[in-house]
Amino acid sequence: MGSSITKQQVQHVAKLANLQLSEEELELYTKQIKDIVGYVEQLDKVKVDGVKPTYQTLDGMVNVWREDEVGMSLSQNEALSQAKRIVDGYFVAAPALRLPLPLIKSGRRGVASAEFGRTSEFFQSKNSGLSENKYNAILTEVDEKGAVGHKDLFLTKGVRSSAGSNVLREYLPQYSSTVVELLEKAGFKTKYKLNCDAWAHGSSGENSDFGSTKNPWNEEFTPGGSSSGSAAAVAAGLVDVATGTDTGGSIRLPASFCNLVGLKSTYGALSRYGIVAMASSLDSPGVIGKSVREVKKVFKVMAGKDERDATSLDSVKRPGLVLTRPGIIRIGIPKEYFDKGIDLEVRQAVMTAVKILEKNGFKIQEISLPNSKYGIAVYYLVQTTEVSSNLGRYDGIRYGFGRESFGAEAKRRIMLGTFASSAGYSAKFFEKAAKVRTLIIQDFEKAFNSSADGVDVILGPVSSTPPFKLGEKANDPLTMYLSDILTVSVNLAGLPALALPCGFSKHNLPIGMQLIGPRWSENLLFDVGEVYQSLTKWHTKKPQV
């Protein structure tokens, strides 16, 4: 199928997704989508007869009904405040029948009402003079005395929240995300809104519509993505901690590439309310900091059920992990994570960490996650299908600019997801991917079983390579996607994972490892991580900035 993708098919998919392509774009996307579809066709050889598809990793969830009652909502002025055009209190859309339009009153762009605070122009002008933004990590300065930075996917009331995209380059939200509210209530003032790959689409920070973020350890290299600004800001000492989102590795990869600790939480542990959605069954908010202790502290502030997020669960009431072998924590080493393709320096750094833990009382044993090799293929069918749905809301009418403002990566993922879920192809691609996702989950369940051969924690590299140079993979989407080959399976299974520094390459670039646990095992990961950091000093090393 990959070899038979035609320009006509891509043009048709673009039309379904309401995207306008130039002839040059059509040629480029046809080749790229053909390559990607050819790669995901490896799922054809996976036997899934009798396997139930997995669309959501929430445990114990049932439909919840509520009374249809009038409650607090945005005022009409608030609801209309970001519209491109309004007339007589209504949004203005393009006419369906091409009748003459009435006189249009243009809504002012980039200006907030008094109750929303400062304008986007204020932040742009203030931000433009920041000498400390040499890494292009900061998009907006909020409070010069603040202590925390937020990935620009997190909405902040009255403060520009762009998701790294030109579509939302002047968007001023009327409310803040739950995570932002919880942190501010606990005394963590917001200092910066931080750069990221647009819509969180990327592994290198190069897909931001506002320029690439640079790695403070070496400005010629990527800090990882998509939470690129979050990692760069913490590594450079601009903030103590920063929020991020991890949909396929977007917290762990930047943490690894910047010598930091990064938590990808259990899916459902942290509220997604007020965070710009990318792939709804995969998105997991989290935090990046310098040490496990810092990350643990911030996570406890952020965690909890949120009635405004149907996928949010009360982690406090979850049973957590009960060790069946008191006194011994068994760490599994997946043989597939150390197969060919793993850089020698990465292998050596991670295995040195394994030996340190083994020497200090942890039981080490080899395990197998045989279906992890299909993780990227599954991920880029599930994720892009959900992307095409979530980004369908951006029409330039109620807020933001039109779909012509989408960047290249967003267009590519929208079209790929539209294709994978379209009539005639959904069974071959999306439905098949959902079934292989089940097999990946079953691999983890088998590894974490309570029998004698089960393990409590899984340990492996975050990335198969140290940080790579900016521009090195930018023109080859499939190669870039493969950067997440060791991280995406965790998201497909909804598990928590903790990235930790464990060494440096010969070019003085950070190398990280990840601890993976069963659902709701964050505290166990913190415990193991703190033990490791008490035995090593990698996390204390800082770049010369």
CB 152 within 8 A of CB 196: yes
Helical (H) or strand (E) element with 357:
helix 344-359
DSSP 349: H
> What are the φ and ψ backbone dihedral angles of 293, each rounded to 5 degrees?
-60, -45
Task: Give residues with Cβ within 8 angstroms of 53, minimum separation 6.
Answer: 431, 434, 435, 437, 438
Q: Catalytic: 81?
A: no
Distance, CA of 405 to CA of 417 (rounded, Å)? 19
Active-site option among 84, 151, 157, 473: 151
Active-site option among 208, 250, 271, 421: 250
Distance, CA of 518 to CA of 325 (rounded, Å)? 15
Tally of CB atoms within 10 A around 336: 18
Q: Catalytic: 335?
A: no
Q: Catalytic: 226?
A: yes
Active-site option among 162, 226, 228, 230: 226
Beta bridge pairs of residue 263: 287, 498
Q: Which of 193, 375, 179, 175 is nearest to 282 (CA)?
A: 375
3-state helix, strand, coil in the chain (%, to 5): 40, 15, 50
Task: Give residues with Cβ within 8 angstroms of 224, minimum separation 6.
Answer: 203, 204, 205, 215, 231, 253, 254, 255, 256, 257, 258, 463, 467
The torsion defined by the Cα of 36, 482, 488 and 55, in degrees rounded to 10, comes to 0
Q: Which residues form the catalytic set?
A: 151, 226, 250
